[in-house]
Amino acid sequence: MNKIALIIQREYLTRVKKTSFILMTLFGPILMAALMLVPIWLGLKDKDIQIIEVIDETGQFINQFENSLTLQFDYEFKPIEEAKAAFYKEKYTSILHISNLGKQTTAQLYYKKQPGMSTISNIESTIEKGIRNIELKDKFNITKAQLDEIQPDVKVNPIALSETGGEESKNVGVSTVLGFAGAIMIYFFIFMYGIQIMRGVIEEKTSRIVEIIISSVKPFQLMMGKIIGIALVGLTQFSLWIILSMGIYTIAMAAVSSDSVANMVNTEQMMQGEQMNEMTKAASSTDLEAQISSMLQQIPIAKLLISFLFYFLGGYLLYGAFLAAIGSAVDNEADSQQFMMPVTIPLIFSFVVAGTVMDNPDGALAFWLSIIPITSPVIMMVRIPFGVETWELLLSMALLVLGFLGATWMAAKIYRTGILMYGKKITYKELWKWLSYKG
Q: Which residues, including other chains, have CB under 8 Å from residue 81's CB and lie 6 or more apart?
A: none
Q: Helices 172-206 and 219-267: crossing angle, nearest 10°?
A: 140
**What is the number of other CB atoms lying within 10 angstroms of the CB of residue 107?**
18
Domains of the chain: 50-149 (3.40.190.10), 170-264+297-436 (no CATH)
Angle (CA) 20 22 25, round 5°: 105
Q: Which long-range contacts (CB under 8 A, 24 or more apart) does 2-5 make?
A: 3/216, 3/217, 3/218, 3/221, 3/225, 4/221, 4/224, 4/225, 4/228, 5/225
Q: Residue 160 pairs with which residues in a beta bridge?
A: 168
Q: Where are the alpha helices (DSSP H) in 104-216?
A: 117-140, 144-149, 172-206, 209-213
pLDDT value at residue 371: 93
Residue type, 38: V
* SS3 letters across 150-177: CCCCCCCCCEEECCCCCEEECCHHHHHH
Sheet holding 94-98, edge to edge: 71-75, 50-56, 94-98, 107-111
Number of helices followed by number of strands (H, E) in the chain? 17, 6
Task: Tell me the pLDDT tens digit for each residue of 75-90.
Answer: 888 888 888 888 888 8
Task: Tell me the pLDDT tens digit for each residue of 22-49.
Answer: 888 888 777 776 766 666 666 555 565 7
**What is the number of other CB atoms lying within 10 angstroms of the CB of residue 11?**
23
Q: Residue 12 pairs with which residues in a beta bridge?
A: none
**Regions in the chain scoring below 70 on pLDDT:** 1, 33, 35-48, 101-105, 144, 147, 150-151, 153-175, 211, 249, 252-253, 255-300, 423, 438-439
Q: Contact, 46 vs 261, CB < 8 A? A: no
Q: Helices 390-418 and 376-383: crossing angle, nearest 10°?
A: 160
Give the integer Cα–Cα distance in Å for 408 and 112: 68
**What is the number of other CB atoms lying within 10 angstroms of the CB of residue 189?**
21
pLDDT value at residue 249: 67
- Return the DSSP state at 270: G
Mean pLDDT of the chain, nearest integer: 76
Q: Contact, 369 vs 388, CB < 8 A? A: no
